[in-house]
Structure 1
Amino acid sequence: MKKLVFVCIFALVSILTNAQETSLEWHTDVKKAVQLSQKENKPLFLFFTGSDWCGWCIRLQKEVFFQPEFVTWAKENVILVELDFPRRKALAPEVQQTNNQLMQLFGVRGYPTVWFVKATEKEGKINFEKLGSTGYVAGGPAAWLTGANQIIKK
């Protein structure tokens, strides 16, 4: 019985440790993300998504964003920002307004769209330098990250 309890506890600790290593922080507050981007000298990764209805967005997350290779890469290279346009859940009005403004600024016409940008804040205004954009790319994390690295290494 003691061995069974020990094995169960060990398995639970392993699962929790693995979950912590594979989790990412997706920001929804753009101003805070910009500050973090400047502090860590990393570009912003703006993910325009329809989280609860867009099949390609869900597929991109499942095939790439939820994979360990992407998690490791993202932690080292970018500050993640989710700009969501859901249909079945409500966003806070200020988040919705910011998301809409950024969608217009970046000319997003479909989902998923990912923009890589460098952001600077001057006199309370945020300026974005566009590095490049992408969307769904077949081939899993390796194919997707190859394109992403080409964009951020410019």
Structure 2
Amino acid sequence: MKKIISFLIFIFVISSYSQESKLNWLTDFETAKEVSKESKKPILMYFTGSDWCAPCIMLEQDFFSTEKFNRQSQSVVLLKVDIPRRMDILTENQLKANKKLVKVYNKEGGFPNIIAMNHKGKVIDTEGSYSASLRDPSRYFAFVSKIIDNY
């Protein structure tokens, strides 16, 4: 019996840890603002073209998928604004909402692009582009650290 209980506790701990390592990306701007206000955390709005933007895909691998960013993400509200080319990735309403956000916050249309803002939607700072040849995410880590430290 002790072995079964120990095994169940082990499974629970492992599953809890794996759930914690997943990033909690929101996709609704209004929800992100509400969460930001309640939690007193800045919003990191990430513009991506998930199925066509090579630098976005590399940034996902080199930055967003790291344990270091997972720790940093606990201090921010994550908002993903995806503009895919494939029509089966997002609903029509989500794509429409995302395109509105691009017009307001990513007027130059750069991908990837990260914008830090407060709970009212006021831009604090931005960090854009990602070098496919260098694949060095250090400036993104520094950007997020600066936002967290100064918020």
The normalised TM-score by structure 2 is 0.79
Using CA pairs under 8 Å that are at least 6 residues apart, name the structure with larger relative contact order, 1 or 2.
Answer: 2
Q: 2:148 aligned with 1:148, yes or no?
A: no
Q: Which residue of 2 aligns with 1:112?
A: 112
Q: Which residue of 1 aligns with 2:136?
A: 139
Q: Which residue of 2 aligns with 1:70?
A: 69
Distance apart, 1:17 and its partner CA: 4.4
SS, match of residue 53 in structure 1:
coil
Aligned partners of 2:49 and 2:112 also within 8 Å: yes
Q: Which residue of 2 aligns with 1:130?
A: 123
Aligned partners of 1:37 and 1:119 also within 8 Å: yes
Greater share of strand: 1
Q: Which runs of 5+ in 2 are unaligned?
A: 1-6
Aligned partners of 2:23 and 2:70 also within 8 Å: yes
Task: Say how many residue pairs are matched.
Answer: 141
Distance apart, 1:62 and its partner CA: 0.5
**1:80-133 Cα distance to aligned partner (Å, 9 max, x none):** 01100011234223222221111111114221001101132xxxxxxx211111
2:82 alignment partner, one of 78, 81, 84: 84
Let me know the Cα RMSD of the aligned residues: 2.6
2-side partners of 1:143 and 1:101: how far apart? 28
Q: Say if 1:108 and 1:28 are closer, same or farther in 2 by CA, change over 3 A.
A: farther
Give me the identity figure in percent: 28
Aligned partners of 2:118 and 2:124 also within 8 Å: yes
SS, match of residue 119 in structure 1:
coil
